[in-house]
Copies of this chain bind each other. A is one copy, B any other.
Amino acid sequence: MSGVLNLKNRMPGARREIDLAALDFSNCPVRDMMQQIGGKWSTLLLEVLAAEPRRFGELRRMLPDISQRMLTQTLRDLQRDGYIAREVFPTKPPSVEYSMTELGRSLYQPLSQLLNWAEANHDSVRAARSRFDSVDN
> Which residue of B has the minimal Cβ distance to A52?
B3
Q: Quick one: which of A103-137 are within 8 Å of B by CB?
A: 103, 106-107, 109-111, 113-119, 121-122, 124-129, 131-133
Task: Please judge, given known A-B contacts A110-B116, A113-B113, whether A33 and B81 are in contact too, CB under 8 Å.
Answer: no
A74 to chain B, nearest CB (A): 13
B30 touches A118 (CB 8 A): yes
This chain: copies in complex: 2
Count A-side interface residues using an 8 Å CB cutoff.
Answer: 66
A81 touches B117 (CB 8 A): no
B7 touches A44 (CB 8 A): yes
B125 touches A33 (CB 8 A): yes
A11 to chain B, nearest CB (A): 7
A32 touches B118 (CB 8 A): yes
**A71 CB-CB contact with B under 8 Å:** no
B129 touches A81 (CB 8 A): yes
